[in-house]
Structure 1
């Protein structure tokens, strides 16, 4: 699973670089991918990415300087701030999704529809017992 996942990540990063997002690193992408639609606190991003709060904060600062995310006040706690995807970040997400779809189509062509369906079902089932953030 790790080899296939790493391959997909590498393809996505290459695609992003080729389409004007060369400043986005894999580590930054892993943090950005965990940002909830309504925004996320850095502490939550750190926990989900299994990095320190300082590392998550550093990566978010880089993403913010590059225009991929914004930090806004948390409406539920005026002391806290939320990290939200900025318009440039949405563009990068759309670009990454293009390559995700390409990789998925390649895998489906290789495995065939039945085995691809089985793979998807197995991975969804495994997520139920492995993803604490589900």
Structure 2
């Protein structure tokens, strides 16, 4: 199995469990919407930046933002640096979902630590953090 797939399988497991926890807490979002919400800058993001960060087309990002806005998870606000532009910003409703996601991630990481040991999990995190230096253009 290649390294990319070895990275993806645990991530997919984590993502599915986080989505289950969020939905169980009463937040009705799709996986595509959640992936877009993850990429929102706390101060707001331009639609083009959001599409690029989420690796979707501008049209797809616009469609997802429309859905999220209608459901009350985001709002469009004027960009203070450019009067013609708008920013997409998360609402209190979106921020209210974060503790449920974070709690599930904490549980998962505790399970992983129990399975592989603290030293190995720390080494994995350190290695992945180092790899992000050359693989994450949005750092």
Identify the TM-score tier after normalising by the shorter chain: over 0.9
Q: Give 2:4's aligned residue.
A: none
Q: Give 1:15's aligned residue.
A: 21
Deviation at 1:81, TM superposition (A): 0.6
* Aligned residues between the structures: 133
SS of the residue 2:26 aligns to: coil
The correspondence for 2:101, drawn from 96, 100, 104, is 96
Q: Give 1:3's aligned residue.
A: 9
Structure 2 portions without partners, runs of 5+: 1-6
TM-score in terms of structure 1 length = 0.97
Deviation track 1:103-132 (CA, whole Å, cap 9, x = no partner) reads: 111111111110010010011011001001
2:112 aligned with 1:107: yes
Q: Tell me how large the CA RMSD over aligned residues is.
A: 0.7
2:121 aligned with 1:116: yes
TM-score in terms of structure 2 length = 0.93
| Displaced runs of 4 or more, over 3 A | none
The correspondence for 1:43, drawn from 48, 57, 66, is 48
Rounded to whole Å, the distance in 1 between the matches of 2:14 and 2:123 is: 19
Deviation at 1:39, TM superposition (A): 0.7
Rounded to whole Å, the distance in 2 between the matches of 1:101 and 1:39 is: 26
Q: Give 1:58's aligned residue.
A: 63
Deviation at 1:80, TM superposition (A): 0.7
Rounded to whole Å, the distance in 2 between the matches of 1:72 and 1:98 is: 30
Q: Give 1:26's aligned residue.
A: 31
Structure 1 portions without partners, runs of 5+: none
Deviation at 1:16, TM superposition (A): 0.8
